[in-house]
Structures are given as C-alpha cells and as structure tokens.
Amino acid sequence: MGDGSSASYIHMVHHLIEKCIIFKMSKEECMETLSRHANIKPVITSTVWNELEKENKEFFEAYAESQNNDRHDRMSEQETSQMIRKLISDNEDPPSSRTSSSSSRNIRPTT
C-alpha cells in the first residue's frame, strides 16, 4: 500500500469505528463486527481506536462511563431470550380457543 492508500484505509476504519460508536458498541464489539463484516483485522481496529482515544480523551472517558452504565441496564442474551420466549408463550392462544367460536356468539351487528 502506498501512503495515500494507507491513509485512506485508516480514514475508512476511523469512519467505521464512528459508526460502531453511534450503535453504542464497545471496542471489542467493534473489533469483532469490523472483522466479520468489513474484513478488517482486529489489530487494525484496535490500533485506530487507541489513537482516537489518545486524541479525544474526554470523549472516550465519557463514552466508557456510558458503556458501563448501559451494561448495568442491559439484560444478558440469555435473559433476553427467556423474556422473548415467555412473551410468546403468554400471547399464544390456548388450543381450545382456536377451534371455539364462543367469542363470536356475543357479537351483534350494529344498525
């Protein structure tokens, strides 16, 4: 890579890290996401992230604080899955109500 293309690549990684921050990702989540979806090596993402932290110390301190607060408020993936299963099972009709038309007997047309 020439100097221009290296700078362009770093700028692209910088831009993608900003997108990760918009989505409230941690450094590790960002590294994994960019590796998986943009084929960027985690060491590259980590290096650019570290440089951004040096240049924007106050921002990243506040961001880390908000990340810690968000983690306390977030449910784990297992808790989320359990909650979704419970909501689905609570909202499913019991088998007897699917075949019964008793609820429609009390409905009368309005005139």
More confident residue, 81 or 36: 36
Residue with tokens 């943009």: 38
Whole-angstrom distance, CA of residue 87 vs CA of residue 110: 35
Residue (of 31, 32, 20) closest to 63 by Cα position: 20
Provide the whole-model pTM.
0.61
Residue-wise pLDDT tens digits, 11-56 = 999 999 999 999 989 999 999 999 999 999 999 999 999 999 999 9
Residue with tokens 């090596």: 41
- State the greatest distance between any 2 C-alpha atoms of the chain, in Å, as a whole number: 80
Given this model, what pLDDT does residue 70 score? 72
